Amino acid sequence: MKINLRLLLLSLALLATTINYAQHHHKPHTDGIEPYYLTEQLENYLKTIDPDYLPYMFASEEDMQWWKEAKFGIFVHWAPSAVTEVALSWGRYGRRPHHSSDGKVTKGVPEKEYNDTYKTFDPVNFNADEWVLNWKEAGAKYFVFTAKHHYGFCMWDTKTTDFNIMNTPYGKDVMKDIAEACEKHDMRLMWYYSQPDWTHPLYRKDLPHTEYNEQILYPQMAELMSYPGVDGIWFDGLGLPPSRWNSPKLLKMIREVNPKAIVNHRHGTPQWHMGDFDGPERGVGRFQVNRPWETCDVLAGAWAYNGESEPAPLSEVVRVLTKIAGNGGNLLLGTGPRPDGSVVDKHATRLIETGAYLKKYGESIYATQGGPYISGPWGSATYRDNKVYLHLMGHQEGPSIVLPQLPAKVKSYKALTQHQGLKVKNNKDGLMISYQSNEKEIFPIVELTLDCDVAEIQAIKTIGELIIDNASISSSSDKSDGFIAQNLLPGAGEDFSEGIRIKKSWRPDASDANPELIYSWDKTQTIQQIFIKEGRRLRKSDVREFEIQVWNNDKWDMVYQGKDIGSFCGVYFNEALSSNKLRFVFKEQQNLEINKILVYTE
């Protein structure tokens, strides 16, 4: 019998690639969690590429381990355009070739003025060592730096174009300094790289990108990988298909230099979930532990220096980091240094505060996995080996929080935070947790030690049915047709902002001093948990007082009174509410914007 050797080699290579993919995309304890990605599309694509590329398509489980344990990274957007104080690339009024918004841009800094900022760029206060030491003090374990963003300026000494850092008054390779500082201070490093280049004439040509790829893209990738200690590439191909860049060739170039390098998913069609991890932008990813993922968000303002903008409060940073860790992901937190290279003082302070928090409670974040409890308005859970960490971020209305029973024995428990009177019981009635409040702590963290490896426990659902699907909604006022209350119901559209689509929100009219939202159902509902998200950015809450009320005996009864909302406000009712109407009254607010409200049954 004759054997087709090429077919056999192809089959073996595809099998090895699939095993690498499956190693860090499938875990046995994710049963009951619907797939986040469409493996069939990816598998079909892998069958079409040159077999020589297959061994380079995915990192191994071992190679991904440091990244999965890191949990927290810093994302720096910096370029000569920082002087304009607008979002990097997206704040430019000009061409966006091969993008859906090309020719539709109506505002921003004129293209020539924006591009010419390099002619005066002289960041005399840039110090790579200070940057990296700041990131370490913040508790970050890796650093992603924008080598080239969409407008095409290169922050390194490239031989492919004159549009680069060496032709500024500064005239030095900042990325060389960054790479050396990361090696010196033991900081993992990834380069952000935009395949699209809105300024280069070769990219502006009609498809295919053959000339651009051969003369610009591939040589630039080779240059980026020539720096010492590069742990991976953070692509940003704006959702374009892998055929635009011949992505397998790019991956081979990367991994021939560093076989352990990791890459994100943005070198291909997002729905295919290529690369080694997914990346929701400016939004907390859903509970997903069958494939690594990372949320990228900004500490303040936009993706770049946005003036001396106020950073999000420490409580917001901690909550979003904790929610992400509990859902199984990493947080890549962005900041934009000033045009002179210095870090905004207020941003540096907030990052140092974050690091101080992580020094105290980082054991419940670093090197953990999300689960075994699936997160909800009550909070989230992480685990490592036989320890479970409960992050009780929700507001408790009642003597205790009751989660489903753990299918294991709780050998011991303790509060990591300064919460007294902690009591934990695990029986057929559930896992009951009670404690005394402590205003000095952001939220309680409870450590449980079990009699088994937590990875053996199936993911446990902690919320009931979402009941806003069959609700109607009304408001005391709407700011405009774009900010109506109906935006808070399922099926509402999305807005386009800085390259991403974000859920629309509700805003009341500016003259409405005490705006209200009312959810109504045709019949009585049982309500156990409520989640509220304010705004579409990580920032300080604009609410100082609000109430949740239910309609009962022909009048409104207050069931919860809160002080602020922010990006995560959960309310857990020990005794479920029964009503067919739910009202939110915002009594002290300014520039109110509500992005999401979720209401769950028992």
pLDDT for 495 equals 64
Whole-Å CA distances, 117 to 176, 335, 565: 22, 20, 39
Closest Cα to residue 404, out of 431, 379, 381, 380?
A: 431
* Whole-number Å distance between alpha carbons of 445 and 380: 10
Judged against a pLDDT cut of 90, whether residue 21 lies above it is answered with: no
Q: Which residues contact 573 (CB under 8 A, 6 or more apart)?
A: 397, 398, 527, 528, 529, 559, 560
Query: What's the confidence (pLDDT) of residue 43?
Result: 86
Q: Is the pLDDT of residue 536 over 60?
A: yes
Task: Report pLDDT for 8.
Answer: 45
- Tell me the pLDDT tens digit for each residue of 257-273: 999 999 999 999 888 88
| 455-500: pLDDT as tens digits | 999 999 999 999 999 999 999 999 999 999 999 998 776 666 666 6
Percent of the residues in the chain that have a pLDDT greater than 70, as a whole number: 92
Residue 40: the pLDDT is 79
Instruction: Please state which of the ranges 31-40, 364-373, 421-430, 508-517 shows the lowest mean pLDDT.
Output: 31-40
Other CB atoms within 10 A of residue 175 CB: 24
Preceding omega of 208 cis (within 30 degrees of 0) = yes
Residue 259: cis peptide before it, omega within 30 degrees of 0? no
Residue reference for tokens 């992005």 = 595
Determine the pLDDT at residue 322: 98
The answer to whether residue 18 scores a pLDDT higher than 90 is: no
How does residue 29 score in pLDDT terms, banded at 50, 70 and 90? very low
Element (H, E) at 380: strand 380-384
In this predicted structure, the answer to whether residue 355 has a pLDDT above a threshold of 60 is yes
- The b-or-e profile of 105-133 (16+ CB within 10 A means b, else e) is eeebbebeebbebbeebebeebbbeebbe
Contact 419, 435 (CB under 8 A): yes
* Residue 36: predicted pLDDT: 45
Cβ pair 372, 154 in contact under 8 A: no
pLDDT at 32: 31
Distance CA 272, CA 45 (A): 9
pLDDT at 500: 64
Residue 171 region, left (φ>0) first, then alpha (ψ -120 to 50), else beta? left
pLDDT band at 20 (very low <50, low <70, confident <90, very high): low
Residue with tokens 């704040």: 91
pLDDT digits (tens, 9 = 90+) for 545-577: 999 999 999 999 999 999 999 999 999 999 999
What digits encode the pLDDT tens for the residues 296-339? 999 998 999 999 999 999 999 999 999 999 999 999 999 999 99
Q: Is the pLDDT of residue 9 over 70?
A: no
Kindly indicate the confidence band of residue 6, based on its pLDDT and cuts at 50, 70 and 90.
Answer: very low
Length of the chain: 602
Helix H or strand E segment including 594: strand 594-600
Average pLDDT over residues 189-196: 98
Predicted confidence at residue 26, as pLDDT, reads 41
- Average pLDDT in the 396-405 region? 91
Local confidence band at 41 (pLDDT 50, 70, 90 cut-offs): confident
Q: What pLDDT sits at residue 2?
A: 43
Rounded Cα–Cα distance for residues 556 and 279 (Å): 42
Q: Considering the chain, what percentage of its residues have pLDDT values greater than 90? A: 84
pLDDT (tens digit per residue) in 116-160: 999 999 999 999 999 999 999 999 999 999 999 999 999 999 999
Give the span between the Cα atoms of 546 and 534, in whole angstroms.
12
Residue 537: predicted pLDDT: 84
Residue-wise DSSP of 453-516? -GGGSPPB-----B-STT-EEEES--SSGGG-GGGGSTT--EEEETTEEEE--B---TT-SS-E
Look up the pTM and report it: 0.94
pLDDT tens, position by position, 198-240: 999 999 999 999 999 999 999 999 999 999 999 999 999 999 9
Instruction: Identify the helix (H) or strand (E) that includes residue 334.
Output: strand 330-335
Residue 12 confidence (pLDDT) above 90: no
Residue 290 has what pLDDT? 86
